[in-house]
Amino acid sequence: MKRRQVIKRLEAVARAKGIEIRVYELSRHTGFSVGPIRSTLARHSEIDDVTARKFFAQFESALGKGWWRK
């Protein structure tokens, strides 16, 4: 999955649910803050599907269980 697709999906769902999302650049990663949850994503153009699923799963408590499958 392309990195930009991962970011767009996360932003779209968070905004649709009315949850504040913050994106910030770190030295080698991009940081994301969705509600109270924070995580990072490496700056590769292609993100492995397993990595993308694990990244999405980190935000389940804020966005709902299995939110990325919908």
Cβ proximity of 43 and 29 under 8 Å: yes
The Cα 70–Cα 33 span in angstroms is 21
Cβ proximity of 33 and 21 under 8 Å: yes
The Cα 7–Cα 59 span in angstroms is 13
pLDDT at 35: 93
pLDDT single digits (tens) 41-62: 999 999 999 999 999 999 999 9
The Cα 59–Cα 38 span in angstroms is 8
pLDDT single digits (tens) 5-14: 999 999 999 9
pLDDT single digits (tens) 22-48: 999 999 999 999 999 999 999 999 999
pLDDT at 8: 96
pLDDT at 70: 77
